[in-house]
Amino acid sequence: MAKSKQRKFYVVSIIVSFILSVLLSIGGYLVGADMGIFNKDTIYKSMSAAGYYNGIYEDVVSTSKQLGRPMMLHAEVFENVFYYNEVKDDIQNNLEAQLAGTMYTPDTSQIRERLNSNIEDYARKNNIEIGTQQQTAIDGFLTQIEDNYKSSLGITFINYYVSMRKMFDNIYFKVLAAILVLIMIAVFIIIKDHRYVHRAIRYITYSTLAAAYMTGIIPMYLYIKGIYRRLAISPAYYYNMLIKTADKSLLMFVYISIFFLVLSAGLIALTIILKNNLKKKASHSHTHHSHHSHHEAEE
């Protein structure tokens, strides 16, 4: 491997380090998606932060009151029928079931009982006679309230999300494993292309810096510009949940990008250490051989 005093043009390293940067970026996006958008904790945290549970709870109460209007039912009948914590638990259980691909049917018997006893109390207080006909109407109304409650728990578009998540889960580990193997091969080829490790690490650093740029720049741009925040979606709590989920998911890619930057800094430090060690070795020994290697290390 005769080398002139000029720096050798490492074609293999240049090509492989480009491929390595693409592999690192794809891997970064996969891990970012797994930890961000496809992580159910991201959705739960977004729901809490967006006041989603409270929004559904208030919706259920106000819709129930509206449904009671044709029956001339007073608003007080709906007091202490629905409880925030019950609504929250049911929404979470429903989401868990949908993510697992199963069905969840909430137990609404308590709601039915509480509402029924409130109606009876109200009738007794106001000397209203409940006959067979009225009881049939009340039973129908109670079922209507139960059905409305059940349908309020589902999250719009969740089916699309679940099928996307399933597709992602099916490929995630396979693709990630393949990418890791290819990354190791690429690193091995780059190291083999150089006589000195510190020169090889320089090319690997180009790759990690490029990966930091590729994983960070688009999510960063989208997050700062916030184009998705202009979407006209109602109700507000649903809009807030979607926006919070998008924010958290994009930031996860930015964190991956920061990880690549930190990794690059570590590699740059390692290059300097290795280069200095090589210089020390070269200056300690004065044989013509060590003088020759010193000449090559000096780059």
- 261 pLDDT band, cuts 50/70/90, is very high
Give me the pLDDT at residue 8, please: 63
Give me the pLDDT at residue 288, please: 52
Rounded to 5 degrees, what angle do the CA atoms 92, 65, 120 make? 100
User: What is the arithmetic mean of pLDDT over 182-195?
Assistant: 93
Q: For 125, how many CA atoms within 13 A lie in the half-sphere containing its CB?
A: 9
Indicate the pTM of the whole model: 0.79
Pairwise CA distance, residues 73 & 224, whole Å: 49
Give me the pLDDT at residue 55, please: 93
Asked if the model's pLDDT at residue 164 lies above 60, the reply is yes
Q: Quick check: helix, strand or coil at residue 37?
A: coil
Q: Read off the amino acid at residue 218.
A: I
| Residue 7 DSSP label | P
Torsion of CA 170, 174, 176, 178, to 10 degrees: -160
- Report the chain's mean pLDDT, rounded to a whole number: 88
User: What is the arithmetic mean of pLDDT over 146-160?
Assistant: 87
Chain-centroid distance, C-alpha 168: 12
Give me the pLDDT at residue 20, please: 96
- 46 pLDDT band, cuts 50/70/90, is very high
Highest mean pLDDT of the ranges 22-26, 128-132, 188-192, 199-203: 22-26
For the segment 167-182, what is each residue's pLDDT rounded down to a tens digit? 999 999 999 999 999 9
Give me the pLDDT at residue 286, please: 53
Q: Quick check: helix, strand or coil at residue 128?
A: coil
Asked if the model's pLDDT at residue 51 lies above 70, the reply is yes
Pairwise CA distance, residues 106 & 95, whole Å: 12
| Residue 229 DSSP label | G
Rounded (10°) angle between helices 197-225 and 158-192? 160
Pairwise CA distance, residues 136 & 146, whole Å: 16
